[in-house]
Amino acid sequence: MAEEEVASAYAAAPEDGHQLLVTEEDGEEDLARWAERGLARGDKLLVAADERHPDGAALVETLTRHGLAAAGAARDGRIEVVAAARFYNAEGYEQLVEQSLRDGHGGVRSFGGPHIAAGVLDPAGFAEFERLLGRLWASRGASALCCYPGVRDETLDEAIRRHRSGWRHRLLHLHDRGHGRLDVHGEIDSSNDELFAALLAAATHRVSTGTDTEPLPGKRRVHEPESDPSGTEVHGRRRLLVLDCTGLTFSSVSGWRATVAGTEAFRAGGGRVALTGLHPLAVRLLHMTGFAAAFDLPETGGGNRR
Amino acid sequence: MTTSTCTHDLVLFGSDEELIDTVAPFVADGVAAGDRVLVHGDPGQLGALHEAVSGPGVESGGAGYATPIATLSGYQRLCDAETASGRGVRAIAPIPVGSSPAARADWTRYEALVARALGPYRFAGLCLYDTRVTPPELIERARDVHRHFRGPTGLRPNAHARPDLEVLRDIDGAHPWPPPPPDARTALAADLPAGAGPVAMSTPRHAVREALRDGGLPHERAQEYLAAISEVLTNALQHGRGPVQIRLLTSDDRWWCTVTDHGSGIDDPYTGIDSPLPGNPGAAGTGLWVARQLCDHLTINNTPSGASVVLHQQA
């Protein structure tokens, strides 16, 4: 594959893929933004039916309330609420995806979660279904946002490991680009700093074991361990994580502390963490607090302005 | 210097000879002990001193002493970085006189905070005051805040020294940071109800960011102010009790942000001064320490119903 193709596919990926949504709320706002992205791309949107959205009309009402022109999209057959029994059935789901692509939609994206699947699949069955979603992203470019309400501790770790493309939580979105590169978007404060640390811990573990690279949609695998372009791989284990903070518009001190904590094990094992795209205030805060010592920072942008 | 004793001596000098005779042995002792030795000050004014004490192991301090709080935290970082090595830090510096009564008061505030802020560290400081050019009332204040004089014959106790807290209270009484004028515009009034969790914090933070946009503060200053306010807000939600009120006022190019909670108040006058860095065994919280460094000034007031923190920022 030409490098430009790889780059453009990855560039498109932050908003797409097989993603985890961690939420303490109902996830409605996130569903709306996910749908907005889908409508803009010409995707077909498949939403697993639950109590709030038992049918298309309820979903259209919700999306309209969030400012989307959902009624027209529904008329065009671009929005569909799917009964849980059909959605959470491997064969049924694959058929939905194939049918949507045959119907000429630009792509497919779905929205569901374990609380909806609970009536249909046991935990092992749901885990298998999540693997299917990962495969369908890789092979068919079908995106899926999996909403895990109130998930924490070991269940959270498990949920993080299941999703390869990225993780969302209200203001925060972490996108795993593979090849030891993570993009962080949004804001970190005391509402999501612990989650951020957990996400980084999972991501760095994935990096150090070389299991962080997902195949691109509809293409063959691009990652071949022996041809790592960054040259940071040692005996098949990458030692460098690049955390691109260009999209990080705010981080509290606790957010930077979480960055230190979440990468602790990786760094203790000899890994290095490079922070790129930092805003000047972030550089200043990192130097001010001494957290800078844990990371590779760009040379420019002096932290001791005063 | 052995353990974490912090000393902070006053040098009143009237000639280059007197200054050199005082400082040179202190520098030599530091170099012999393997301490980091920093000599600050403008070489134009303290050229003779720099020349006399320069040599291996003596660093000529460059930046620093821009603002009191940046100077204090800068020394905390410097000392903290040396805790692992076990090296002490010796600093020799003229204290800026300040261009206004408020700035002068702020440097006296700095002097009164040194012992506490650098208390956990192996720090020895000499504060240099040139009696030929320093206004007498500043010399008087310098006597208030140092336990010892150092001169060519060594150390002697200062009977004039007053408790730091008393000095700080006096300065705050005589030189309070200007409150908002009556006609200041309220740019934001937001309340977080009792029981609001950290998730609720982003809403007022976004509102503050919006209010500061095009509000006259340069972009970087506005970003710093927002970060400082956010840390204070986090602190109020974590340690205080709701409801938490946020009031953002502005007049001309000045801003006041008051964050009021209804907890048990902030009793410790050194909140946000104590070092949160890892070399301090009694490491304090980081939030207010950072907030103090990101705005022009931070005032903590206790009211009968809770704590009220005011953050000042000027374009």
Both tokens of residue A224? Answer: 């071949």
Positive/negative CA dihedral, A234, A239, A240, A243: positive
Q: Which chain B residues are Cβ-neighbours of A306 within 8 angstroms?
A: 63, 66-67, 70
Asked if B293's CB is within 8 angstroms of A254's CB, the reply is: no
Among residues B262, B216, B298, B1, which one has the least CA distance to residue B123? B1
CA distance A9 to chain B (A): 32
CA distance B139 to chain A (A): 26
A279 in B contact zone (CB under 8 Å):
yes
Find the CB nearest B231 among A24, A252, A304.
A252
Say which DSSP state B96 is in: P
Q: In which element (H, E) is residue B121 found?
A: none
Find the CB nearest A281 among B73, B223, B278.
B223
What's the pLDDT at B102?
A: 86
C-beta separation of B188 from B208 below 8 A: yes
Asked if A250's CB is within 8 angstroms of B81's CB, the reply is: no
Asked if B63's CB is within 8 angstroms of A304's CB, the reply is: yes
Asked if A280's CB is within 8 angstroms of B290's CB, the reply is: no
What's the pLDDT at B304?
A: 83
Q: What percent of chain B has pLDDT over 90?
A: 74
What's the pLDDT at A8?
A: 43
Q: Higher confidence at residue A130 or residue B66?
A: A130
- On the question of pLDDT at B84 being above 90, the answer is no
Confidence tier at B98 by pLDDT (50, 70, 90): confident
Asked if A257's CB is within 8 angstroms of B293's CB, the reply is: no
Positive/negative CA dihedral, B133, B138, B142, B143: positive
| Interface predicted TM-score of the whole assembly (ipTM), two decimals | 0.92
| Whole-angstrom distance, CA of residue B72 vs CA of residue B77 | 9
Question: pLDDT tens digit string along B175-227?
Answer: 999 999 999 999 999 999 988 888 888 999 999 999 999 888 999 999 999 99
Asked if A24's CB is within 8 angstroms of B227's CB, the reply is: no
Asked if A252's CB is within 8 angstroms of B234's CB, the reply is: yes
| Whole-angstrom distance, CA of residue A163 vs CA of residue A173 | 13
H helices of B54-122, where? 68-83, 101-117
Confidence tier at B63 by pLDDT (50, 70, 90): low
Asked if B199's CB is within 8 angstroms of A170's CB, the reply is: yes
Confidence tier at B42 by pLDDT (50, 70, 90): confident
Q: Which chain B residues are Cβ-neighbours of A254 within 8 angstroms?
A: 234, 287
Strand segments, DSSP code E, in chain A are 18-23, 43-48, 79-82, 107-112, 143-149, 166-169, 172-178, 181-188, 233-234, 237-238, 240-251, 272-276
What's the pLDDT at A90?
A: 96
A259 in B contact zone (CB under 8 Å):
no
User: Which B positions 142-171 lie with beta carbon below 8 A of chain A?
Assistant: none
Find the CB nearest B286 among A187, A253, A280.
A253
What's the pLDDT at A11?
A: 45
CA distance B237 to chain A (A): 10
Per-residue pLDDT of chain A (306 residues; tens, 9 = 90+): 444 444 444 445 678 999 999 998 888 999 999 999 999 999 999 999 999 999 999 999 999 999 999 999 999 999 999 999 999 999 999 999 999 999 999 999 999 999 999 999 999 999 999 999 999 998 999 999 999 998 888 888 899 989 988 899 889 999 988 888 999 999 999 999 999 999 999 889 888 887 766 544 444 344 444 444 454 554 556 789 999 999 999 999 999 999 999 999 999 999 999 999 999 999 999 999 999 999 999 875 444 433
| Whole-angstrom distance, CA of residue B165 vs CA of residue B23 | 29
Asked if A254's CB is within 8 angstroms of B199's CB, the reply is: no
Find the CB nearest A290 among B74, B201, B277.
B277
Strand partners, B126: B9, B92
CA distance B45 to chain A (A): 22
CA distance A29 to chain B (A): 15
What's the pLDDT at B95?
A: 87
CA distance A189 to chain B (A): 8
A270 in B contact zone (CB under 8 Å):
no
C-beta separation of A117 from A126 below 8 A: yes
